[in-house]
Amino acid sequence: MTDHAKAPRSAQETAAKAPRRQPRVRATQLAEDPIEAEARRFVTLSGRSPTAVQRAVFHAYPRRRAMVVIAPTGSGKTLAVMAPLLIDVSRRRREGAGTRVVYIAPVRALADGHAETLSALAAAIDPKLKVGLRTGDTTSHARAKLKRTPPAVLITTPESLAVMLGTDTRETLGAVEAVVLDEIHLLCEGKRGALLSATLGTLDAMVRGRGGEAPRRLAMSATVADREALAAWVHPEAEVVAAEGESVPAALDLADPKLDEAFPDGGWAWTSVLPFIARRVMTVRGAMLLFVGSRTRAESWAMALRDVLPTRVGVACFHGSLSADARRDVAAGLSDGSLHCVVATSALEVGVDLPRVTDVLTLGAPTSITRLRQAAGRADHRPGMPPRATLVPVSATDLVRCVAVLSAAAAGQLEPVDLRRHDRDVLIQAALGRIALGPVTAAQLREDLGATAAFVGLDAAALDDALHFLSTGGDALAAYDEMARITRDADGRFDLSSARARRRYLQGIGTIVSEPSVAVLYGRAVVGQLDGRFASLLGDGDRFVLAGRTWRIAGRSTEGLRVRPDRPDPRAVPTWDGGRAAASTVVTDTVAALWSALNTCCAETPRPDQLSAFERLLGTSQTNARAVLALVRAQRRASAVPCEGAFTLELIATPERQHLVLYTFAGNLANEVIARVVAARLRADTDEGAQVSAHDDAACVSFSPAVSLDPETLRRWLAPTGLYEDFMSALAGSVLASAYFREVARIAQLWLPDPRKGAVTPGLLHDVLSRHDPEHILLRARDHTLWVALEGPRAVAALTARATQPLNLLRLNAPSPFAVSVLAWAQRDAVAPSDPERALADAAHALWRATRTLDDLA
Amino acid sequence: MIDLDAALSLVAPGAAWLRSHGTLIVADLHAGYIQTLQKRGFALPDDADTGLLARLRGLCARTQPRRIVVAGDLVHGAPAADPRRGPESPLDALLAALRGVELVVVMGNHDRALGTALTDRGVTVCEHHTEGPYTVFHGDDDPAALAPRVAAARATSGRVVLGHFHPALSLNDRRGAHARLAAFAWGPGLLCLPAFSPWARGADLRNPAYAAPIEALVDPKALQLAVCVGPEVIATGSLAAVRRVARRA
């Protein structure tokens, strides 16, 4: 009871009353653990009673198991975890023990934001508990101070933790008792999450090596689709503590702009939706966030809105290419009320605090429920106010998509978190990280890494491959001493080969591979970043739009592109190449089901009642229901609406080309895989070349009219077996392969960004390795990365599911309304090389046709 | 293949072919490129110029030239033999592959490292080489000095043939993928050859910084381009038009 005596007198009184205020005191809780009791008392000190999640975590805390706390934003998760933890640490004070709690945040901005909150919390619990912050932004002076006097609680990022473990700063972490993982659903994603799981394993190994117990893991998460998978990622024995009941359901609704045209899906329906958005901005209570799909679109929408709105209405845009200053300006403009609308990309979804946002709109259907929820969460969340968002459809097909997304969201569906396992490039960096801790045998390495979520059950051969690569660089590079990053001693223990190898490892920590970009400078201010390839096309005097302003290029310097402001010019919006994100499986499945339902409704309802039936089914205005009904009727007349239970294909014969449209509803990436494989198989059978294109709903292959098709051949081309092999051989030598090699080489630290003039590029490295060592481990890693990034597994699943369905092959002489939007994409995505050389020749000829008119005019 | 005039054709993967003279002009072979990078401390797999030699042999087999004129940068660095690969230096390997053909080397900036190695081996070396109405330079001279030569060549409907700039053109597939292809660039009085080295990625002429030295000699509206794709040479129109199309995309 000595600890209790420390609490101030008034607090004791408050605490004494607190249990009486609790409506749900049960007998078991009477014998509550001292930490649980003190945590409760601490919360009630501030005059509030613990929330459901706090009660649950306080109760579970004394069991000392790993824990995943799942609760909505604003439910007091952080306090739920940190209060008992800090009380616990404070009760077992160990002078000079170094850091006791490591708090990991997904991004620097969030780490910065937590520093203040946690300092205040720690000070309130025990003034002697210090909180420190170490991220990539921390100065070397501050880092040295953190090393001399390690704080009890260290807030950091996954990369900074790995760096600390790779240097002698690790000594400050030798007595860590707990690791807190904030926003675990973001931390555990992709290759970055895989590397973090290995880094946590390395931390465990280090603490155990110093006689301690592996730190306890406490994770916090928003609602996720598969909490068991998430818990298993955190720790094999982690328990889930969920308090989702308190969450206020998100208020998601559908805007009702007038969609006059039935199917303008290929382009963006500026004319129909712009006035609607502008009116919403004019009447907004605080400020509006308008989410769009790309940076280019953010810039052009901001510009268009500024054109039609009075000047007193402030409009800005926000995306990943803007400078930190420009982003801060946006936040400042929102809080002082000078900004009324921010057009943003998903860059804004995480980690930026935006005041006064009352309305969140998404333009077009979001590609996933997760993304929609994140967008909705950006609305000013006061307690009790639900996250909310309005979906603005831009065409009749998009309207159906929006309705599908809303119904999936209402049904509580979510996409699973992208957890990666056994990526070879990550394994290489993870092994380096474990070896950087100190000499270790292959068996120990396998045991330590094999206990982490990303490499669970790691097989000896895979580890041997990675160790061979780290020891030699692979057969083609074996002649280089510097490629031998690790050496093996007589006892079979691996160690870093030199101080240089350690420096190189520390320099290359992380999995984020940035695209080349060029800084845009106005005077001494950085306006933002331009895509390197786009910037290289601009000459002096050329104009472009960035951060909502038009700039003229005044010159170039070593720091970047020098610009001056210029008159607004809507034609000057830059284009950033880049893949469109594919709609998630949850979304495409729901969309497919909704088309089926609409088709059935149209087939079974008497014609006069169809409109009102569509209105009910879609929950939208009569005007918009009419647009969708017109589309469904037209599709049924011309062809058929793709339905569940059958695999609908259209073969559209025009005099020049045949277009095979496959309604797979597998997302545009998987559809591209399918289309490329069908093109490759078609080529193998007929020796005819084909163009491919992909859409979220359908894949499209275009080929010569000389090819004749029967259902049997089609079945063979659509077989899911051999998809991987056929796709990879179709891609061999293509530019895509080289682009993905860059990521793999960077993560495996074979290639690190090198500012030296004439330095080796990943492209050159790729070409040389492909020629001299085609079996190189990184080329295999590249294939796997490419296959996963292009959603190959989803393509296999889609074709497998349809292999047993009846084929509904429709032979048409003109594109059906559905096919129009697929072919519209096809027109824009000029080539996709199933035969790279042929495709490049096609592209060169296309360029010739395009330039000829210009040259003839000149 | 593109016939530029009665005597001169452009052939893949980046050479000028003077049919009546039986002369091939190639530029920027940069033999020993990978070895030179290795010597500078970059870890790369060994490459005995197999790609470069295969290109040269293929081209010779198709055209059967009597003479090959190299418009500079025959090698990338000094001709040291690599002890791991045996006694033959990249230069010797290259000369052995071209045995039986007369070789004329116009000195390029990289060739200065050779010293007397070429003359010692009996190769004709010169600062520029004239063949009929065509004069071959490397192109590393001051553009101001080249301009009058181009003007003079234009007047006599001949051409100045240059290497050095490694002209190339990027083609996009509009979904993030792009490929840079070796390109010929020509205009009145001028022909710029692409780099013949398979490792040279080339300088995208759409980038004004790279095109500036060539634009100083020929107006971009009059500067025609053609790219090499496999065995084909495909014309793409003028640089000015190519740039406009690229920006519209």
Asked if residue B87 has a cis previous peptide bond (ω within 30° of 0), the answer is no
Question: Do residues A819 and A651 lie in contact, with contact meaning Cβ atoms separated by under 8 Å?
Answer: no
Shortest Cα distance, chain B CAs vs residue A681, angstroms: 21
Shortest Cα distance, chain B CAs vs residue A764, angstroms: 7
- Which residue segment(s) compose the domain that B175 sits in? 2-248
Pick from B45, B176, B229: which is nearest to A840 by CB? B229
A484 vs B: CB within 8 A: no
Beta-carbon contacts of residue A233 (< 8 Å; ≥ 6 apart): A184, A188, A193, A197, A419, A453
Domains of chain A: 2-242 (3.40.50.300), 251-410 (3.40.50.300), 517-572 (no CATH), 647-845 (no CATH)
Residues shown for chain A: 858
Rounded to two decimals, the pTM is 0.79
pLDDT of residue A612: 95
pLDDT of residue B178: 62
Q: CA distances (Å), A576 to each of A293, A324, A515, A532, B180, in order?
A: 12, 20, 12, 10, 18
Report chain A's mean pLDDT, rounded to a whole number: 84
Q: What is the mean pLDDT of residues A216-244?
A: 91
Pick from A540, A575, A847: which is nearest to B237 by CB? A847
pLDDT of residue A576: 45
Beta-carbon contacts of residue A632 (< 8 Å; ≥ 6 apart): A598, A599, A602, A614, A641
Q: How many separate domains does chain B show?
A: 1
Residue showing tokens 């199917």 = A263
Contact A767 B199 (CB under 8 A): yes
Question: For residues A265 and A753, what is the distance between their CA atoms, to the nearest angstrom?
Answer: 41
Check pLDDT > 70 for residue A245.
no
Beta-carbon contacts of residue A344 (< 8 Å; ≥ 6 apart): A289, A290, A291, A292, A298, A317, A318, A319
Percent of chain A past pLDDT 70, that is, above it, reads 86
Among all residues of chain B, which has the CA nearest to that of A515?
Answer: B176
Q: CA distances (Å), B200 to each of A238, B37, B195, in order?
A: 54, 13, 6
Question: For residues A810 and A635, what is the distance between their CA atoms, to the nearest angstrom?
Answer: 12
Distance of CA A452 to the CA centre of its chain: 22
Q: What is the 8-class DSSP label of residue B19?
A: T
- The pLDDT tens digits of the residues spanning A653-710 come to 988 889 999 999 999 889 989 998 998 899 888 877 777 778 889 999 988 888 999 9
Beta-carbon contacts of residue A139 (< 8 Å; ≥ 6 apart): none
- Checking ipTM against 0.85, whether it exceeds it is no
Local confidence band at A352 (pLDDT 50, 70, 90 cut-offs):
low
Mutation target to probe the A interface, by most A beta carbons within 10 A, among B34, B166, B236 is: B236
Shortest Cα distance, chain B CAs vs residue A668, angstroms: 12
Shortest Cα distance, chain A CAs vs residue B37, angstroms: 8
Check pLDDT > 70 for residue A274.
yes
Question: For residues A763 and A782, what is the distance between their CA atoms, to the nearest angstrom?
Answer: 13
Check pLDDT > 60 for residue A836.
no
Helix (H) or strand (E) holding A494: strand A493-496
- The pLDDT tens digits of the residues spanning A92-117 come to 877 777 999 999 998 877 788 788 88
A–B: how many Cβ contacts below 8 A? Answer: 137
Long-range pairs of A524-530 with CB within 8 A, sequence gap ≥ 24? A525/A323, A525/A325, A526/A323, A526/A325, A526/A560, A527/A322, A527/A323, A527/A326, A527/A551, A527/A563, A528/A321, A528/A322, A528/A323, A528/A326, A529/A321, A529/A322, A529/A323, A530/A321, A530/A561, A530/A574
Check pLDDT > 50 for residue A12.
no
Residue A129 three-state SS: coil
Question: Do residues A343 and A305 lie in contact, with contact meaning Cβ atoms separated by under 8 Å?
Answer: yes
Residues of B in contact with A482 (CB under 8 A): 43
Beta-carbon contacts of residue A42 (< 8 Å; ≥ 6 apart): A83, A87, A124, A125
pLDDT of residue A733: 61
Pick from A537, A578, A769: which is nearest to B45 by CB? A769
Local confidence band at A18 (pLDDT 50, 70, 90 cut-offs):
very low
Question: For residues B21 and A149, what is the distance between their CA atoms, to the nearest angstrom?
Answer: 81
DSSP string of A704-767, one letter each residue: -TT----HHHHHHHT-STTHHHHHHHHHTT-HHHHHHHHHHHHHTTSS----STTPPPHHHHHH
| Beta-carbon count within 10 A of A821 CB | 23
Least confident of A215-224, A624-633, B22-31, B45-54: B45-54
For chain B, 249 residues long, the average pLDDT of each consecutive 10-residue run is 90 93 95 83 77 92 94 84 63 88 92 85 91 92 85 90 93 59 94 93 87 90 91 90 76
The residues facing A569 across adjacent strands are none
Check pLDDT > 60 for residue A536.
yes
Residue A708: both structure tokens together:
């004749």
Question: For residues A91 and A529, what is the distance between their CA atoms, to the nearest angstrom?
Answer: 49
